[in-house]
């Protein structure tokens, strides 16, 4: 179930991530959704959706980190 818009992301994602991080999350989720269609391409027994969410969070963490309750963009 790819997301066409950031407004369709899970509430927990919408409520915690800044807009740019939501964009990263959505694009990474959608890409992983396509990439891990076949169960043999996934690790362990994770579902396609679980795998896509894990990939999306990993993508966000490439550019953002958490400070207290907020996600902030890393500085170069």
Q: What is the CATH number of the domain that holds 28?
A: 1.10.1740.70
Is there a domain that residue 2 lies in? no
Range of the domain at 63: 19-73
Q: pLDDT truncated to tens, each residue of the chain (76 aa)?
A: 899 999 999 999 999 999 999 999 999 999 999 999 988 888 889 999 999 999 999 999 999 999 999 999 998 6
Residue 24's pLDDT is what?
98
Is the model's pTM score more than 0.85? yes
Closest CA to 42 of 51, 34, 33: 51
Total domains in the chain come to: 1
Is there a domain that residue 3 lies in? no
Cβ contacts of 75 within 8 Å, gap of 6 or more:
none
């Amino acid at each position: 179930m790819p997301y066409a818009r950031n407004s369709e992301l899970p509430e927990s994602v919408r409520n915690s991530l800044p807009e740019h991080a939501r964009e990263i999350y959505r694009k990474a989720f959608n890409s992983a959704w396509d990439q891990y269609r076949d169960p043999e391409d996934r690790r362990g027994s994770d579902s396609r959706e679980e795998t896509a969410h894990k990939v999306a969070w990993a993508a966000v963490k490439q550019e953002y980190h958490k400070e207290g309750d907020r996600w902030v963009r890393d500085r170069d």
